[in-house]
Amino acid sequence: MAAVYKNYTLKELEVHFNPQNAVADHASWSEKRNAASAANRKKLKGFLDVPYGASERQKLDIFPAEKTGAPVLIYFHGGYWRSGGKEQNAHFADLFVARGATVVVAGYDLCPAVTVTDIVRQARSAVAWVYKNISRYGGDPAKLHIAGISAGGHLVAMALANDWQKEGLPRDIIKGATAITGVYDLDAVLHIGVNQEIRLTPQAARENSPLLHPPLPGAPLIVAVGGAEPEGWRRQSQDFFNLCRERRIDCQFFEIPGGHHYSMGLELIDPASPLTRAIFKQIGLPA
């Protein structure tokens, strides 16, 4: 069978770029995250389903820190742009709120109802909304950080590539970012089965690939990936990190030993994880 992307055949791509095929017990890991998220949504003081856009899924869950003037962390969930939601991704909020951050978990519309281009636009709109409004919830807009996993890692990268000044906002609106096991070359997605739902086109892949639209200089960046993920997926993170370094972006790279696509999100509930500690340091939270 001939290679269709890099050196991978279609069959190999389904292993390297479809995480559900690479992690046999992925459902159990998702259940752990979902349970932790549900518990936090019940126990934490929060403002749930705050709209930032017109559609039903363009909403935020905001978990304020105890003290006002807190640094802010916006989190974008994964799901290959066609599944998942903010309701299942507040699993880490209690730890970060306890350390003094205001946590915002962002929802967005999903493919195929919308395109990846639409979702990138919504993610940027969420960042802009939080910057303009988070002071009403005790957060400091001058201390705005973003993070995301998988498709959310891609959205983080595309937010960093945005020229915020064209929208009348400060160039350095984002003070720090973390992209966890993200998708950075969307050409790979064109060749796998999930694209039947995503409906990505070659043009949209070019327009939304961080490897073609790298971050603008400014915010420090953490790039993380699991050491047990398939080589093709790990290579995307490494290539993205190398590109950022070439562009003289303050960038750290973490390959978590034994980490796979579904365990990586749960790293953020572990205060001893090197990734979590790096995010604490970036935001200015106590370790």
Report residue 20's pLDDT band, with 50, 70 and 90 as the boundaries: confident
Return the pLDDT at 254. 98
Nearest C-alpha neighbor of 189 from the set 176, 206, 171: 206
Q: What are phi and psi of 178, to 5 degrees?
A: -135, 120
Between these two residues, 226 and 22, which has the higher pLDDT value?
A: 226
Paired tokens of 161? 């590539």
Indicate whether 66 pLDDT > 80: yes
pTM beyond 0.85: yes
- CA pair distance 102, 97, nearest whole angstrom: 6
The phi-psi region of residue 201 (left if phi > 0; otherwise alpha if psi is between -120 and 50; otherwise beta) is beta
Report residue 25's pLDDT band, with 50, 70 and 90 as the boundaries: confident
**% of the chain exceeding 90 in pLDDT:** 93
pLDDT digits (tens, 9 = 90+) for 26-44: 889 899 999 999 999 999 9
Place of tokens 């990505």: 200
Mean pLDDT value across the chain: 96
Count of helix runs (H) and strand runs (E) in the chain: 10, 8
Return the pLDDT at 214. 95
- Region 73-98 average pLDDT: 98
- CA pair distance 54, 69, nearest whole angstrom: 28
Torsion sign across C-alpha atoms 135, 139, 141, 145 = negative
Domains of the chain: 10-283 (3.40.50.1820)
State whether residue 94 is helix, strand or coil. Answer: helix
Indicate whether 1 pLDDT > 90: no
Q: Which of 24-33, 83-92, 112-121, 264-273 has the lowest mean pLDDT?
A: 24-33
- Region 183-209 average pLDDT: 97
Answer whether 92's CB lies under 8 Å from 269's CB. Answer: yes
pLDDT digits (tens, 9 = 90+) for 137-166: 999 999 999 999 999 999 999 999 999 999
Report residue 23's pLDDT band, with 50, 70 and 90 as the boundaries: confident
Parallel, antiparallel or unpaired: strands 221-226 and 251-256? parallel
Q: Which of 21-25, 157-161, 268-272 has the lowest mean pLDDT?
A: 21-25
